[in-house]
């Protein structure tokens, strides 16, 4: 459907509204003159042949053209009309346009009976007979057909009537019809074309006789009404006599009632004035009865309740075959609930569309005026594509001086009242709990983890599963691909303004506090704080705050308190209404005795100074979760008798904790318990039978204690015992844990065996035996039919572990540092492990590897520190991660194929590999890059991004543009070279400022030991990826500012690393370069080019078209590897010296 419509050339818009056909001798100076004048006075573009044709012009072709380019034709039939061949030829042309173009023909019977015209008798019959005897005999039949057709069209009989009243009625009818077909000017409607096409695809213009309800949803001010109007106008011709656009349905129902809206709908569709509906029920019956056989185009704009839809369009059988009903609403759920076959979720304008619309509204041009580019971009960044905000701010700023702009731009929020009022309509439609959730998110939790926010809000008594979903359906909230809640900045500002207006002059009387200055002011003012419900104090850096004990007194409604990076001194009383308390570095040794905790749902006090939480039994029946991680002074857990509903307890890294209160065994709802890093913990009391996750890593747990735990916690699914160095054996009773999925024994240095009963763990999926004394995996693991991950690293077996018996579901296998030699690793590994995805063989003694190309699902291969390894076999086509750090004998790389489009290679300390593959400052394109690029030329869709990390301190010369520092300007070629560009090669030298190990999130084994050094990072990004990034911003001849600062790339490779980017460079890769690669062994044509040192920090731009935080994604894994795109200049030239 889309391709068909797009291939047709739309007809030109009508040049005239009305064409008047009349016999001049009969009516020119009488009725027709009055009618023409009345049309012109009403603003209707009427055409009269003697008024617009220039003297000397051949009249007939011009006249026929005027007829064809008119929307309506009014034919004034007078007694002498049929006497004129001229008039009859006009009529034939009008009938032709009626049949072919859908022109509307309206007859006026001035002084002749309609039956005379339709039946061709009387004066008309006599005139036609005379024509038959004259020169016009050949055209008479056409005239007869035209007269008969138009004579039978309903029109106006003016005989014996008040002509002025008739003229008024004719003009009113034309005006009403025109007002229903007036097109919205597209001049200022930016970005609507593509969105309208998508909506029409949902409407299914060519899908036959089915009746379709289609919705448009989105936040207020996003352009729902505008889009509906555009599509309505484009489809109006098909629904000429049965269409209606009902705007602001919600407001109309509130102000005038359902009956008024029903009357409006019926009057518009049936084209009847003063149509009366007695009551809403009768109106429903009338709408269904009148429209169920009509093909109707109906727009119901801004609907917010099912009741409104039930009154106007209850279901599809109210309308005739082929009808299309468009409903706009902020509530997506409402649209689906009413039976919409599709809902178009309208998103904001992209950057270039927003900048264009803002420029049109502000400067009456398609780009910002000179000197206002930076200001304009700041406005566009702030409004985030919301058309309403763009128009309001554009109109406000238009025509103002630069100084006024400078003043306004720093406080844009102050000029958005009209925008926020529109957005607030959605807020006003929420119930009380939903409003509270919205305000909490707006004030505290925008861009936070969905799961974490839900946990916090649940602690405050909200039902988030339904509430958050409803906010999303109301277009007040959305989810990011990274699992975060996203609220538009203007909606956030609207929510915060609602809170601010609760008490503009006194923060202590507001329900929520998030600004540090407001919070500290309130906490140091002892009175007038009764309205505060929630406080989040999250300082950017750790700061010492002086507060007295009564800082939180009189906050009788405080339910949520989160404090981070604030250092307090001494004991502080806490309000009793708290449901959620998160306080990092809590200063006191225990919770205040006066603190009544009965309503507390979640308590988190990481890094606290507490030695004990409370004394005796505390009534905390609502408490569900407690986290005291890193509280190094905590020596004992409290009595949990008064907290029977706790589900999660975390005491991670409480290094002084040695005593666990026996009441923990009575917590029947406890499912997760962590004592990880509690190095003094030697024994545990009995555990609850429903416990599912137990973390005892790095504790002093004995074999006997583990035996008791297994007997108690029969429902465990996760048991983590890593680095429990007192543990020598695993009890035989381990086989009773039938629900256990994860067993972690990593680093239990004294453990020398596991019982055969391990094979009875029928649900086990992950088993880690790395770093133990076990030299041979027990045969029992071959009975683990659900095992997916097996790690046996650092274990030096007396003979090769048998692998052939392992289940084929294994996806992750770690045999690093197991002393494996040439021939030890089995052949036919692809048959043994068809599901294998991650394989770690680091620190073994291979010279060559067996064929692993059959591992069709393998995407990560780690071979770090295999010092004897000389070459690699053919790698699987799906491989995305390859690590060969420290493989000093490796020289030959295989010919790699990339079915996934991404490839990440890391090879530090591989001197032979560098020598044999040309990785040096003076070399040309290295083989490491050459082979993937050649592969990408043969199969362009298979190569999107490459990342290479190798040893070195200087960028090779074949990067033709280089400069010191962490940012560089990339000058893109002009079209057609821009369109033909294969990609962009980037490079940077990085100084690792941190000592210690190197550990990747993709790595399965231990860190490889390596000293601090400089690295070179190579990136290749395909031309398609660059063109997609700059879509709408550039068609070539542009300069892109890139920054490698805070390179997320290193967070993937080495989390927490401190790095410094010393130098960076780039080179454009053309198809010619790739072709030259195929025919040479030394490099490409551009490789010999002189290095151009891009040291000019101040380009001379023609037009700045983008500035912001957009990123050029270089690789995707668990995190993004990217560099920031700082600015894009169109048509910029650099001085490069």
SS3 of 448-512: the string is: CEHHHHHHHHHHCCCCHHHHHHHHHHCCCCEECCCCEEECCHHHHHHHHHHHHCCCCCCHHHCCE
Q: Highest-confidence range of 79-93, 355-369, 1006-1020, by mean pLDDT?
A: 79-93
The CA distances from residue 658 to 585, 635, 719, 829, 978, in Å, are 21, 6, 20, 48, 67
Residues 854-858 have a mean pLDDT of 86
Closest CA to 443 of 578, 535, 520: 535
Confidence of residue 1127 (pLDDT cuts 50, 70, 90): very low
Confidence of residue 1066 (pLDDT cuts 50, 70, 90): confident
Residues 1074-1085 have a mean pLDDT of 49
Output 356 or 681, whichever has higher pLDDT.
Answer: 681
Confidence of residue 929 (pLDDT cuts 50, 70, 90): low
Confidence of residue 580 (pLDDT cuts 50, 70, 90): very high
List beta partners, residue 1116. Answer: 1120
List beta partners, residue 1067. Answer: 985
pLDDT, tens digit, 9 for 90 and up, residues 154-180: 889 988 888 888 898 888 788 777 765
The CA distances from residue 465 to 448, 517, 861, in Å, are 16, 34, 40
In the prediction, which pLDDT does 792 show?
85
In the prediction, which pLDDT does 999 show?
33
Query: Quick check: 1041 pLDDT over 80?
Result: no
| Cα angle value 12/14/18 (rounded, 5°) | 165
CA atoms in the 13 A half-sphere facing the CB of 845 = 9
Closest CA to 423 of 490, 334, 346: 490
SS3 1041: strand
Write phi, then psi, for 979 (nearest 5 degrees).
-70, -25
In the prediction, which pLDDT does 658 show?
92
89-98, 281-290, 778-787 — which is least confidently predicted? 778-787
Confidence of residue 572 (pLDDT cuts 50, 70, 90): confident
Confidence of residue 803 (pLDDT cuts 50, 70, 90): low
Residues 365-383 have a mean pLDDT of 83
Burial 810-848 (b: 16+ CB within 10 A, else e): bbbbbbbbbbbeeebbeeebbebbeebbbbbbbbbebee
Beta-strand ranges (E) seen in 568-699 are 580-583, 602-604, 625-627, 648-650, 672-674, 693-695
Compute the distance between CA of residue 490 and CA of residue 416 in angstroms, rounded to an integer: 9
Compute the distance between CA of residue 698 and CA of residue 744 in angstroms, rounded to an integer: 12
For the chain, the average pLDDT equals 79
Write phi, then psi, for 52 (nearest 5 degrees).
-120, -15
Query: Quick check: 74 pLDDT over 90?
Result: yes
Compute the distance between CA of residue 1132 and CA of residue 1113 in angstroms, rounded to an integer: 24
pLDDT, tens digit, 9 for 90 and up, residues 812-826: 999 888 888 887 777
The CA distances from residue 357 to 197, 216, 973, in Å, are 20, 21, 28
In the prediction, which pLDDT does 1034 show?
44
In the chain, the percentage of residues whose pLDDT exceeds 90 is 26
Residues 47-54 have a mean pLDDT of 60
CATH homologous superfamily, domain 14-179: Toll/interleukin-1 receptor homology (TIR) domain (3.40.50.10140)
Burial 949-983 (b: 16+ CB within 10 A, else e): bbbbeebbbbbbbbbeebbbbbbbeeeeebeebbb
| Cα angle value 1016/1019/1024 (rounded, 5°) | 170
Query: Quick check: 67 pLDDT over 80?
Result: yes
1056 Rama class: left (phi>0) / alpha (psi -120 to 50) / beta: left
Topology of the domain covering 184-345: Rossmann fold (3.40.50)
Q: Return the domain boundaries, the chain.
A: 14-179, 184-345, 351-412, 420-500, 903-1130
Q: Identify the H or E element spanning 168.
A: helix 163-181
Query: Quick check: 1121 pLDDT over 70?
Result: no
Query: Quick check: 275 pLDDT over 60?
Result: yes
Query: Quick check: 807 pLDDT over 70?
Result: no
- Compute and round to an integer the Cα radius of gyration of the chain: 39
In the prediction, which pLDDT does 672 show?
95
Q: Identify the H or E element spanning 970.
A: strand 967-971
Q: Which residues contact 879 (CB under 8 A, 6 or more apart)?
A: 858, 859, 860, 861, 896, 898, 900, 903
Is the CB of residue 370 less than 8 Å from the CB of residue 376? no
Which residues does the annotation mark as catalytic? Answer: 90
Q: Highest-confidence range of 40-54, 707-721, 764-778, 919-933, by mean pLDDT?
A: 707-721
Confidence of residue 976 (pLDDT cuts 50, 70, 90): low
Shared fold status for 184-345 and 420-500: no
Quote the DSSP letter at residue 203.
H
In the prediction, which pLDDT does 520 show?
86
Query: Quick check: 715 pLDDT over 60?
Result: yes
Confidence of residue 50 (pLDDT cuts 50, 70, 90): low
pLDDT, tens digit, 9 for 90 and up, residues 84-116: 888 998 999 999 999 888 889 999 999 999 999
Compute the distance between CA of residue 95 and CA of residue 83 in angstroms, rounded to an integer: 18
Residues 370-378 have a mean pLDDT of 82
In the chain, the percentage of residues whose pLDDT exceeds 70 is 79
Q: Tokens representing 308?
A: 């409104």
Query: Quick check: 1059 pLDDT over 60?
Result: yes
Handedness of CA 582, 584, 587, 589 (dihedral sign): positive
Report the CATH number of the 420-500 domain.
Answer: 1.10.10.10
pLDDT, tens digit, 9 for 90 and up, residues 489-517: 888 889 999 999 999 988 989 999 999 88
In the prediction, which pLDDT does 598 show?
85
Is the CB of residue 1065 less than 8 Å from the CB of residue 955? yes
Query: Quick check: 2 pLDDT over 50?
Result: no
In the prediction, which pLDDT does 679 show?
94
């Amino acid at each position: 459907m889309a391709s068909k419509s797009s291939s047709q050339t739309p007809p030109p818009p009508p040049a005239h509204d009305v064409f008047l056909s009349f016999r001049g001798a009969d009516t020119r100076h009488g009725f027709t003159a009055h009618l023409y004048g009345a049309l012109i006075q009403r603003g209707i573009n009427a055409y009269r042949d003697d008024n617009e044709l220039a003297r000397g012009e051949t009249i007939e072709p011009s006249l026929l053209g005027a007829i064809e380019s008119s929307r309506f034709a009014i034919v004034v039939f007078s007694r002498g009309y049929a006497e004129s061949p001229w008039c009859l030829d006009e009529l034939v042309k009008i009938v032709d346009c009626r049949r072919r173009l859908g022109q509307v023909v309206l007859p006026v019977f001035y002084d002749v009976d309609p039956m005379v015209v339709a039946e061709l008798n009387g004066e008309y019959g006599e005139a036609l007979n005379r024509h038959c005897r004259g020169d016009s005999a050949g055209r008479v039949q056409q005239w007869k057909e035209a007269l008969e057709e138009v004579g039978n069209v309903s029109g106006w009989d003016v005989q014996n009537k008040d002509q002025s009243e008739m003229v008024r009625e004719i003009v009113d009818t034309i005006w009403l019809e025109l007002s229903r077909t007036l097109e919205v000017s597209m001049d200022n409607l930016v970005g609507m074309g593509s969105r309208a096409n998508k909506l029409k695809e949902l409407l299914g213009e060519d899908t036959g006789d089915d009746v379709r309800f289609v919705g448009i949803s989105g936040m207020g001010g996003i352009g729902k009404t505008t889009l509906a109007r555009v599509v309505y106008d484009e489809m109006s011709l098909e629904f000429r006599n049965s269409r209606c656009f009902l705007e602001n349905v919600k407001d109309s129902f509130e102000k005038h009632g359902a009956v008024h809206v029903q009357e409006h709908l019926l009057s518009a569709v049936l084209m009847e004035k003063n149509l009366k509906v007695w009551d809403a029920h009768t109106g429903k019956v009338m709408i269904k009865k009148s429209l169920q056989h009509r093909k109707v185009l109906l727009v119901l704009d801004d609907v917010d309740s099912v009741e409104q839809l039930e009154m106007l369009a209850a279901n599809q059988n109210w309308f005739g075959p082929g009808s299309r009903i468009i409903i706009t609403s902020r509530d997506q759920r409402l649209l689906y609930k009413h039976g919409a076959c599709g809902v178009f979720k309208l998103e904001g304008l992209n950057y270039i569309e927003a900048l264009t619309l803002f420029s049109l509204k502000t400067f009456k041009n398609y780009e910002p005026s000179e000197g206002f580019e930076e200001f304009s971009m700041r406005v566009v960044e702030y409004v985030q594509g919301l058309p309403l905000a763009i128009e309001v701010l554009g109109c406000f700023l238009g025509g103002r001086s630069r100084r006024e702009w400078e003043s306004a731009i720093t406080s844009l929020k102050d000029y958005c009242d009209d925008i926020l009022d529109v957005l607030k309509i959605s807020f006003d439609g929420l119930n009380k709990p939903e409003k509270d959730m919205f305000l909490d998110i707006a004030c505290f939790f925008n861009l936070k983890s969905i799961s974490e926010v839900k946990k916090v809000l649940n602690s405050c008594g909200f039902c988030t599963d339904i509430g958050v979903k409803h906010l999303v359906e109301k277009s007040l909230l959305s989810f990011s691909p990274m699992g975060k809640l996203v609220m538009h900045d203007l909606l956030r500002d609207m929510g915060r303004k609602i809170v601010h207006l609760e008490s503009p002059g006194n923060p202590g009387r507001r329900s929520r506090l998030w600004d540090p200055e407001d919070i500290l002011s309130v906490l140091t003012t002892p009175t007038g704080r009764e309205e505060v419900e929630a406080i989040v104090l999250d300082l950017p850096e750790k700061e010492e705050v002086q507060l007295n004990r009564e800082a939180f007194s009189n906050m009788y409604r405080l339910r949520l308190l989160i404090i981070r990076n604030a250092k307090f001194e001494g004991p502080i009383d806490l309000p009793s209404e708290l449901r959620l308390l998160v306080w990092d570095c809590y200063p006191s040794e225990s919770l205040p005795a006066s603190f009544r905790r009965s309503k507390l749902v979640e308590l988190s006090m990481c890094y606290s100074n507490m030695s004990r939480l409370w004394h005796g039994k505390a009534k905390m029946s609502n408490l569900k979760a407690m986290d005291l991680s890193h509280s190094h002074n905590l020596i004992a857990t409290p009595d949990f008798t008064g907290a029977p509903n706790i589900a999660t307890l975390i005491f991670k890294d409480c290094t002084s904790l040695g005593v666990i209160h026996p009441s923990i065994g009575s917590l029947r709802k406890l499912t997760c318990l962590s004592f990880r890093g509690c190095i003094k913990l030697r024994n545990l009391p009995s555990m609850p039978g429903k416990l599912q996750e137990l973390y005892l890593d790095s504790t002093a747990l004995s074999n006997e204690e583990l035996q008791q735990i297994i007997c108690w916690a029969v429902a465990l699914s996760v048991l983590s015992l890593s680095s429990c160095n007192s543990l020598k054996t695993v009890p035989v009773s381990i086989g009773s844990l039938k629900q256990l999925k994860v067993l972690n024994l990593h680093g239990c240095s004294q453990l020398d065996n596991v019982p055969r009963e391990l094979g009875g763990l029928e649900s086990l999926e992950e088993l880690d035996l790395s770093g133990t004394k076990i030299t041979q995996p027990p045969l029992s693991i071959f009975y683990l039919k659900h095992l997916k991950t097996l790690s046996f690293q650092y274990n030096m077996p007396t003979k090769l572990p048998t692998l052939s018996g392992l289940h084929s579901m294994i996806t992750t296998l770690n045999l690093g540092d197991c002393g494996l030699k040439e021939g030890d690793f089995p052949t036919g590994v692809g048959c043994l492990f068809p599901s294998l995805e991650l394989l770690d063989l680091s620190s073994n003694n291979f010279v060559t590897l067996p064929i692993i190309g059959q591992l069709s699902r393998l995407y990560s291969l780690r071979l770090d520190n295999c010092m004897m390894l000389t070459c690699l076999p053919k790698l699987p086509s799906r491989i995305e991660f390859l690590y060969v750090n420290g493989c000093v004998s490796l020289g030959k790389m295989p010919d790699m194929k990339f079915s996934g489009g991404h490839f990440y290679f890391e090879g530090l300390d591989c001197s032979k590999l560098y020598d044999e593959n040309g990785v040096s400052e003076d070399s040309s394109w290295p083989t490491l890059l050459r082979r993937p690029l050649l592969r990408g030329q043969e199969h362009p869709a298979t190569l999107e991004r490459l990342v290479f990390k190798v040893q070195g301190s200087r960028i090779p010369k074949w990067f033709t543009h280089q400069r010191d520092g962490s940012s560089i300007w990339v000058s893109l070629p002009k079209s057609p070279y821009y369109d033909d560009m294969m990609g962009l090669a980037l490079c940077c030298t990085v100084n690792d400022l941190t000592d210690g190990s190197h550990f990747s999130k993709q790595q399965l084994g231990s860190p490889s030991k390596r000293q601090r050094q400089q690295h070179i990072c190579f990136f290749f990004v395909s031309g398609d990826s660059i063109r997609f990034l700059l879509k709408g911003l550039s068609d070539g001849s542009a300069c892109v500012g890139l920054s490698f600062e805070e390179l997320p790339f290193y967070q993937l490779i080495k989390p927490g690393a401190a790095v410094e980017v010393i130098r960076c460079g780039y080179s454009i890769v053309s198809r010619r370069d790739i072709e030259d690669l195929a025919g040479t062994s030394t490099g490409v044509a551009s490789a010999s080019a002189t290095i151009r040192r891009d040291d000019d920090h101040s380009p001379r731009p023609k037009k700045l078209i983008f500035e912001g935080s957009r990123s050029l994604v270089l690789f995707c894994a668990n995190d993004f590897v990217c560099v920031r795109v700082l600015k894009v200049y169109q048509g910029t030239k650099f001085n490069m010296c």
